[in-house]
A and B are shown apart, each in its own frame.
Chain A
Amino acid sequence: MSEVLNVQQGMAAGAVHHDGHHHHETFVSKYIFSQDHKTIAKQFLITGIIWAIIGGLFSVLFRLQLGYPEQSFPILETFFGNWAKGGQIQPEFYYALVTMHGTVLVFFVLTAGLSGTFANFLIPLQVGARDMASPFLNMLSYWFFFLASVIMLSSLFISTGPASGGWTIYPPLSALGEASSGSKLGMDFWLVSMAMFIVSSLLGGINYISTILNLRTKGMSMTRLPLTIWALFFTAVLGVLSFPVLLSGAILLLFDRNLGTSFFLSDIVVNGQILPNEGGSAILFQHLFWFLGHPEVYIILLPAMGMVSEILSVNSRKPIFGYMAMLGSLFAITILAFLVWAHHMFVTGLNPFLGSIFVLLTLLIAVPSAIKVFNWLTTLWRGNIRFTPATLFAIGFVSLFISGGLTGIFLGNSTIDIHLHDTMFVVAHFHIVMGVASMFGMFAGIYHWFPKMFGRYLNNTLGYLHFWVTIIGAYLIFWPMHYQGLAGIPRRYLDKRGWVSFNQFPELDKMITIVSIVVFAVQLMFVFNFIYSIFKGRKVTNKNPWGANTLEWTTPLRPGHGNWEGEIPEVHRWAYDYGKDGREFIPQVEEIGEGESKH
């Protein structure tokens, strides 16, 4: 194996390799503290899947409460004890569930699990590198994520419970231990875990950027990069520039909690006593949070967008429509993502003039988003589409991105947002456009690259079942929520029965709950498919099972550390020569033939 490493760019892949020792790989160095980007990708993926199950389970639990607030489920008491006294989900438990569902899904599943997995797996393979620029820091990136996971997971077992002030952890609720049981030790754990997570994403991010810039193989110019790589590149840029701002906010919040400072606190009365904290601004925290929080949405979305572009092109056997336009819109989205954060804060008392600038910038995002949607549709148009599960999930992504994107235009307007803020409409919007859509992108990626990852196929029949139940379920769950939101039903309410106007659709809530249980069960079926197929799936016999052009399909069936035996192939064309000159596909490594038409 190390012979492979010493060839060519293996030298550049990190100081660890140049010693030329033949190190024998033990179980620990191969599967645990591995520096191979492919193994690290799998570690991210499996940790992400575990988190997804936990986070999904949380949502089923609080859906039970929302659908059946009057009913008691004795089994819950068996499992959760006092948190579900008498089989009823207690308020503290409910808020902990909602908070942890958001935190886990946004950060641990859709950031680390999605971009951690696919950036690690695809960047070296698709740009033509032996490994990441620094495999060692890449390994550290995973282990910091693991540390963050352990801390977050252990916060679930604190007697006062995990953080429960919402995934946005707004002060003063999050800043005062007296405010709620979830604001006690659980909140400190949350902040420390997030600091570890930020270190992880930073180590990953600078590695991804440097690899894409520095370690492209010969001939792989920037405009020959697959769109996946571009999307992952911009994702890394977003992460590197926005996560530190949350780090600052988290540190200041830790100070407010433990050192008596007043960054975010002012004029607070607890039990009739005025706290000494004065002069802080709770809005400031929201600014800091959303300076990360909004780019975070795109950190989640962009990798999905990139993979969808690739998968749609490969499976419709057509070049991606408007490569440069796609690239330009990715760039525009990245820039705009940094400029629009305060559209989450229209009702905080934000200066209305400032708010209107944020409205303008927010609505601008519709332009690159629409360009991307049209390009996906035109890529599919008249294509010779192969409906693999990956293709279906990619098409599902486009569908969800349109549905959720349109409601974004509503919410981006401050005047409408004042009515819709903190209602179920918002929940519906962001779940469709960023939650479920990115999940679909992730599924598409898993189905598409599973053969490269594990040398076996996922079961197709289960894949189709997975897709259809999930897409129908997703719409059945989230579509009605728009109407609930328009009717003024707020989010985060434990029990709506006390209000006539909020208690308008109890039957709808029951339906949503039932569907979400079904959808969750189908996700478990996917996890079963995943684990089963790793060991027992149909074996891949063809190096290039999808007939794709990109470099990862030129590697051996089960590539070792270093990816290519012998030299790294040179690249002679872009990644999207499908259906050109009467040929189904022309891999990037093939030289431009004489008299070949231009794309």
Chain B
Amino acid sequence: MATTTVHQTKWWSGGKSPFNMEYGKLMMWYFLMSDAFTFGAFLISYGSIRFSQNFWPDPNVVFNAFPGAGHANLPLAFVSVMTFILIISSVTMVLAVHAGHKGDKEGVIKWMFWTIIGGLAFLGCQAWEWHHLITGEHAVLVDGKIDLIGQTMGGNPWGDLVEDNTALTAALNNTSHETLVHLAHEYPTGGTVVAMEALEKMSDGQLAGMVDITHAHIRETGPIAFGGYFYGITGFHGFHVFSGVVINIIMLIMTQKDVFKNRGHYLMIEKAGLYWHFVDLVWVFVFLCFYLI
């Protein structure tokens, strides 16, 4: 925008937008501002709870899985894939908006399509991650016995590592048969894996002797709010991604049907774009708060 015009125009004198911006885009900006406070409040509450705890799980320990990689310890790998998916989908969105400015219908369709694919890919990744965290059970020392629990809204297996081996050995005596079978299968003394069927027939006492307690990485339970905030905030973000995808699909159909072409401008694409970039922006902060620090 030429700076000379900016200085000559009396922007605030009425009869025109002081920001040279149509009302719809302005409303979108202020809506996003408001939404930023919703997310801000979530993340700040998370911070407040985290600071009120003596212990908080290290994200690198929690988020270390990768689809198809089994038990390999790959901290941050999967989430970086998710982050790049969102960044790339933001870029395709920018290109769609740019094509819209030029009135290039085919360009808009092409880039919107890729943006939608990016959004769906992200949602797929998130679904996998949630599924992995909820169903992936970990051995935890609770009330003098060992339990297998996943990361849920009300339970957190990511407490401090228990290094007191006598306490753990004692806990094995109170542990359920099922859990013992699992532990003896996963962490056998001497490293020789025994078949599940054989283990299931053994007595609790035998099984307890077969568990290599130092390799099992048994932890205490962690702060419950960890899971609540993780699922709550990433879920709320995922809901935004989902609604963004829905909006983008609607925009794609409208473009296809020449709605914007007949209207003479593709400004709706720009507003959808603002929303989409905001979703990306929020992820940058979710990524920071949950995965990096």
Contacts and interface: CB of A to CB of B under 8 A. Distances in A.
A–B contact (CB under 8 angstroms): yes
Interface of A: 12, 128, 133-134, 137, 202, 205-207, 209-211, 213-222, 224, 240-245, 247-249, 251-252, 255, 259-263, 276-281, 284, 287-288, 291, 570-571
B17 A262 contact: no
Contacts of B190: none
Contacts of B232: 251-252, 255, 261
Contacts of B48: 281, 284, 287
A221 B15 CA distance: 9
B225 to A, nearest CB: 5
Contacts of B17: 213-214
B27 A133 contact: yes
Contacts of B152: 260
Contacts of A128: 14
A237 to B, nearest CB: 9
Contact of B224 (A210, A247, A252, A279): A279
19 contacts: A209-B30, A216-B15, A217-B15, A220-B15, A221-B12, A221-B13, A222-B12, A240-B33, A244-B41, A248-B42, A252-B42, A255-B153, A255-B232, A261-B225, A262-B154, A276-B154, A276-B224, A278-B223, A281-B49
Interface string B34-54: 110110111001001100110
A134 B224 contact: no
Contact of B27 (A134, A216, A224, A251): A134
Interface of chain B, main secondary structure: helix
Contacts of B18: 213-214
A219 B14 contact: yes
A261 B151 CA distance: 12
Contacts of A220: 14-15
A137 to B, nearest CB: 7
A554 B26 CA distance: 29
A12 B23 CA distance: 8
Contacts of A280: 49, 224-225
Contacts of A288: 41, 45
Contacts of B153: 255, 259-261
Contact of A263 (B15, B27, B49): B49
A588 to B, nearest CB: 11
B54 to A, nearest CB: 10
A279 B45 contact: no
Contacts of B227: 261
B5 to A, nearest CB: 18
A251 B229 CA distance: 11
Nearest to A240: B34
Interface of B: 10, 12-15, 17-19, 21-24, 26-27, 30-31, 33-35, 37-38, 40-42, 45, 48-49, 52-53, 152-154, 223-225, 227-229, 232, 236
Contact of B31 (A206, A255, A291): A206
Contact of A279 (B12, B19, B225, B236): B225
Given A12-B22, A276-B154, 9 more contacts: A128-B14, A133-B24, A214-B19, A218-B14, A249-B45, A251-B232, A260-B152, A262-B224, A277-B224
Contact of A216 (B14, B24, B35, B41): B14
Contacts of A262: 154, 224-225, 228
A242 B38 CA distance: 9
Contacts of A241: 33-34, 37
Contact of A210 (B13, B26, B45): B26
Contacts of B154: 259-262, 276-277
A338 to B, nearest CB: 10
A86 to B, nearest CB: 43
Contacts of B13: 218-219, 221
A278 B224 contact: yes
Contact of B19 (A213, A219, A278): A213
A220 B22 CA distance: 18
Which 7 pairs from chain A and chain B are nearest by CB? A261-B228, A218-B15, A260-B154, A248-B41, A220-B14, A133-B23, A244-B38
Contacts of A278: 223-224
Contacts of A260: 152-154
A473 B89 CA distance: 63
B62 to A, nearest CB: 16
Contact of A206 (B10, B22, B34, B38): B34
Contacts of A12: 22-23
B29 to A, nearest CB: 9
B210 to A, nearest CB: 31
B41 A245 contact: yes
A263 B232 CA distance: 11
Given A222-B12, A260-B153, A261-B154, A137 B224 contact: no
A214 B22 CA distance: 8
Contacts of B41: 244-245, 247-249, 288, 291
Given A221-B13, A261-B154, A276-B154, A245 B37 contact: yes
